[in-house]
Amino acid sequence: MFVRNFSYIRMMKQSRKEEKNSIEPTRSELEILQVLWEHGPSTVRFVNDRLNEEKRAVHYTSTLKLMQIMAEKGILKRDQSSMKHIYFPAVEEQKTKGFLLERFVNSMYKGSASSLLMQLLGSGKTSKEEIQAIKDLLDKMGKK
């Protein structure tokens, strides 16, 4: 009985540790991350300006507060060595996108990547060039 309970506790701790390593950003946090992934380390003002150009009207103070919260959560890091604080992602772009995609496929397509691909290709929005690139990728993967 004790051994089983100990194993369970260890498994739960490991699960919590993995959850901390796999931070799931909100939509607003993702918008900020996308600016930082594209443009590199930036000030709040720069990020806010890009959000206003690309996405929607956002107040500077809202962007500042959200970026401060993201730093507390470990999604962003902040360089405070100069008067203007510079923020940069603490999470890798590909790792984050991979985690979010896996969560999406698991929840929406029961883990079936082929079902997702069929849905995407069946939408009629895929260009001939994109279809050819997919075929080339599948051929390359088949040769491995």
Beta pairing partners, 86: 79
Helices and strands counted in the chain (H then E)? 7, 2
pLDDT at residue 15, rounded to an integer: 41
pLDDT at residue 14, rounded to an integer: 47
Distance between first and last Cα of the chain: 47
Contacts of 47 (CB under 8 A, 6+ apart): 32, 35, 36, 63, 67, 87
pLDDT band (50, 70, 90) for residue 55:
confident
Model pLDDT for residues 81-118, shown as the tens digit of each residue: 888 899 999 989 999 999 999 999 999 999 888 888 88
Give the global pTM.
0.69
Model pLDDT for residues 7-39, shown as the tens digit of each residue: 444 444 444 444 445 678 899 999 999 999 999
Distances (CA, A) of 126 to 26, 98, 105, 137, 141: 28, 21, 19, 15, 21
Query: How many Cβ atoms are within 10 Å of 96's Cβ, its own excluded?
Result: 19
* Domains of the chain, first to last: 19-111 (1.10.10.10), 112-144 (no CATH)
Model pLDDT for residues 34-48, shown as the tens digit of each residue: 999 999 999 999 999
Query: Coil, helix or strand for 87?
Result: strand
CA angle 16, 30, 83 (to 5 degrees): 100
Per-residue DSSP letter, 82:
S
